[in-house]
Amino acid sequence: MLSQFEPLYARRAFPCFDEPGWKTPWRLTIDAPADDVVVSNTPQLNAAPAPGRRGWTRHEFAPTKPLPSYLVALAVGPFEVVDGGTAGANKTRLRYIALKGRGAETRWAAEVTPRLLELLEDYFGTPYPFAKLDALAIPQTVSFGAMENVGLITYASSILLATPREETAEFRRRYAAISAHEMAHMWFGDLVTLAWWDDVWLNEAFATWMADKVLARYRPEWASGWSVHYARSRALELDRLASARRIRNPVLEKNDVPNAFDSITYQKGAAVLAMFENWFGPEAFREGVRGYLKRHALGNATAEDFIRALGAASGRGAEAIAVFRGFIEQPGVPLVDVALDCAKEPALALRQQRLRPVGSAAPELRWTTPACVRYGGATQCADIQNGATRLKLDAPACPAWLLANAGGKSYYVPRYESALGARLRSQAAELSADEMVAATIDARVLAESGLLPLADAFAWADSALAHASFVARLEAIELLDELRDPWLTESEAGAKREVIAQRVRPLAAMLGWEEASADSDDLRELRARLLPYAAKTEEDGKLRAQAGTLALAWLANREAVSATMTSAVLDTAARFADAETYAKLEGAALAAADLRERHYLLAALAKTRDEKLRSRAFGLMLRNDVNGRDADDLLYNALADDANRRAGFDFLRANYDALAAKLPQSSLAWLLAPLGELCTREERKLFADFFVERAKGLYGGPRHYQQSLERIDLCIAARNHS
């Protein structure tokens, strides 16, 4: 038994004031079978036979510090406890907890966690604020990956546990990032707790931003493009919508709570914090954070309290604080048009407005945007207002090229005048990984929104594929994949084919499916994304056949395919499988006891393109020997696949009641997100007719429905525009 009480579930376990503003000490006493391990937020004080229950033990835990109900946690089961020693100023006791027989799989967590804790203590200027810290693996989670319970952080097992073979570079970086995020919550969220759910961004945006800072100190190479790659596109995709919510968003009814846990809170919030850390100055910003924690320790606080603390530490006036509010208290992202204007002196002609896709009904908004540009060896910053602005450059002559988002992490989207964009692409080797990744993401989002010619977007992909950064090349593949062929005119399709022919196929042929011992971690991760895309777009079927052979070899011997490539190989093999190969993959999926392997196989089966085999794969969702979590895995992956999305939607509509009864609670609302990729008027009508009423009954459903419908409308408008 394991608990997950955030946001509104503690009331299901015990009577309580189940709101974050109510903080009180808790003392847990738990009776459990004597052979089970029992853990909670605090150290155990006593264990003795449970009165009147033979073979049971009563576990008494120390009182907690004041906590809201959503941070109370307990776990009971056949666990193996791995002692992690101590770390930090107070020599905090660390432990790693997994199901029996899997304790050795916590190896990486035990190596990295102590140092991450020390780095967090260093930034906050105070020791870890609680008595102990356990990390516990949950076999399966639904709709969350980890949870910052005081003293007992819970993780999906795929995040915390890995065999030596599965301990890939991606696994190591992912655990470190998530662990740093969850541990940052011990100060920001647990020691100081939001007063109400409208300030959930104070928890999540700050922890996301803090994790990026910690990882940059722990492994500088992990700061090269990765955080921008994961975060920027997710935030911009939502924030370009008229239905986008603001970071600090009112929570007035039940459905507002799950909606607060999205990319606006996590990724946009973190990007805005990074931008204003630079604006206020890193030292002043840190002093503001420390002052906020000291003032509100063991209590509750609001965004107002946080903003006041930043203002006090930075010495900035009310006007400066208003600039910060402009990004957290209204939705949307600034679009800054950029052109060189050197007729009289070196200068930039800028125009700022809200990024509104073609067909958008979003109202105009106003920002004062802290922007930094880079040209030659100089970086110049200015505060940009809405409308037209002329920025004089501190340069002796008109620069040969100019980057309008120096560092690549500020939260606005530059749109370059055509000649300036071409000049910048010609100097792409001068851009850092963060800058190249951000520019490529911006090009994709603008092109998807009908605000940038698709030929220009493909030119950005070409430059990114030639860049030294492996992460930039990954982002180029995302751009090519997301700008789908049915949208393209013949000339646009030709431009895309040229990039694939000149960049993608030669690189894929050079790398191949199999890793070499000398490969860097970045190269391994690039291969895992590049090869499946190359196989989807190839003309001779060679890569597809190789993937099929490797998949069958993997079924016979897991060592035949590296862990980094397993999902890539299985996806490609299943996508183009014949009946015999499909049957073997299906049999392996149904028999798989390892949850990671089962997920890989089910996700692969959901992508099969043969119509008869696809119907067979979809039919698995309704079988009695396929549980609801696995059915959800199949359905989500089918809906997220461009080739199978419509067929998956048809299956969902035809079997909705049976699926709704089987799938995990709240998962149906999340399934609306990939349906936002539908892009025809017929599909729009089917989506609206089917979900307009049903979405109202789903937890978080109304907003998911609204945003997915808007994304469909924008896709249709952009296609017509092009």
Q: Which residues are catalytic?
A: 182
Q: CB of 272 within 8 A of CB of 328? A: yes
Q: 430 in helix, strand or coil?
A: helix
DSSP letter for each residue of 365-386: ----EEEEEEETTEEEEEEEPS
Residue 428 to residue 422: CA distance in whole angstroms = 10
Q: Which residues does 410 contact at the CB level (< 8 Å), separation at least 6? A: 271, 274, 275, 278, 369, 370, 371, 372
Q: CB of 708 within 8 A of CB of 673? A: yes
Taking each helix axis from N to C terminus, what angle separates 107-124 and 282-296, rounded to the nearest 10 degrees? 90
Residue 421 to residue 83: CA distance in whole angstroms = 55
Residue 190 to residue 152: CA distance in whole angstroms = 12
Burial 237-276 (b: 16+ CB within 10 A, else e): bbbbbbbbbbbbbebeeebbbbbbbbbbbbbbbbbbbbbb
Residue 689 to residue 686: CA distance in whole angstroms = 5
Strands 413-416 and 387-392, by their bridges, are unpaired
CA 277 to the chain's CA centroid: 21
100 CB-contact burial (10 Å; exposed 0-12 / middle 13-18 / buried 19+): exposed
Q: Give the alpha-carbon dihedral of 175, 177, 181, 186, to 10 degrees.
A: 60
DSSP letter for each residue of 33-92: ETTSEEEESS-EEEEEEPTT-TTEEEEEEPPPSSB-GGG--EEEESEEEEEEEEETTTTE
